[in-house]
Amino acid sequence: MELLEDEVDSPAGGDPAVIRSHLQVVTRNVTRLQQLILGLLETARSVSSDRIGSRGGPHRVTLLDELVRRQVEAISPRAAARRLRWSLQGCDAPLELVNADLERLGQAIDNVLSNAVKYAHEGGLISVELGMEGNQARLVVRDEGIGISQSDLLGLFTPYFRARTATDAGIPGYGLGLMITRRIVRAHGGEMSIASEIGVGTRVELVIPVVRT
C-alpha cells in the first residue's frame, strides 16, 4: 500500500500499469488472509463446540447420499478443468443420518473432495464410494495423485502442517483443512483415516454413526 501511495503521489501522477500491478498484489494477499482467517475461525468453532447431536430435541435427518452428490456436483467444474474423471459407487442409494449437522458435514466432505481434485494427477480418476458398515456410514475418496510420504502422514492433522509433496509441487494451502475435517467427523462420533503412497495417490475414509443420540 505504501508503494501504491508513493506511485500515486509522484509528480507524474502515477503510472496506471504500475498502480494496477500493486493493486493485484494487494487483492491477492487480502484474499489469502481472508481464507486463512476463515480457517482459523472454523478451527476455533470446532474446538469450542459440543458434540453434534448430543443436545437432545427433535431428530434431524440428513441424506448423506444426496449431500455427497451435491458436493461432487459443486466441485465438478474444478475437476473438469484438470480433466479429472469420477467414479461414484453407492451414491444413488438413500443413506440417512440422524442428528447430523448438514452444513459442517458438507464442509468436511468438500474438504476431502477438494484435496482429491487439488492433488490428483491431471487426467486421473477420483473414486467416491459410499456405503454402510454395521450401524455406521462409510465414505471413501481415492485419488490418483502425488501422494504423501509415510512420515508426513503422521503430521497431517497438525495445524498448519503441509506434506512435502504438496510444498515441492507448489500447490497452495494452509494446513488447516484436514484438521478441521477430522474434528467435524469426531464431533459426529465418527473417525477419519488416511492412507497414501507417493506417486500413486491417497485414500481418505470417513466413518460416521448413522444415529447420534
Whats the size of the chain, residue-wise? 213
- Quote the cell numbers at residue 30: 487480502
141, 126 contact by CB (below 8 A): yes
- Quote the cell numbers at residue 25: 498484489
pLDDT tens-digit profile of 85-119? Answer: 999 999 888 899 988 888 889 989 999 999 999 99
Mean pLDDT across the chain, nearest whole number?
86
Distance between CA atoms of 79 and 70, rounded to whole angstroms? 14
pTM of the model: 0.76
Range with lowest mean pLDDT among 24-28, 60-64, 139-143? 24-28
| Mean pLDDT in residue range 194-206 | 97
pLDDT tens-digit profile of 58-93? Answer: 568 889 999 999 999 999 989 999 999 999 999 888
Question: Of 20-29, 59-68, 116-125, 180-189, which has the strongest mean pLDDT?
Answer: 116-125
DSSP 57: S
Distance between CA atoms of 155 and 178, rounded to whole angstroms? 10
* Region class of 163: left (phi > 0), else alpha (psi between -120 and 50), else beta: beta
> Which residue's entry shows cell 504438496?
166
Amino acid identity, position 94? P
Secondary structure class of 91 (helix, strand, coil): coil
Of residues 50 and 41, more confidence is placed in 41
- Closest of 156, 143, 62 to residue 106, by C-alpha: 62
Distance between CA atoms of 7 and 56, rounded to whole angstroms? 61
Between the alpha carbon of residue 161 and those of residues 110, 113, 152, 158, 165, the distances in Å are 19, 19, 9, 6, 12
Sign of CA dihedral 76, 80, 83, 87: positive
| Mean pLDDT in residue range 124-146 | 96
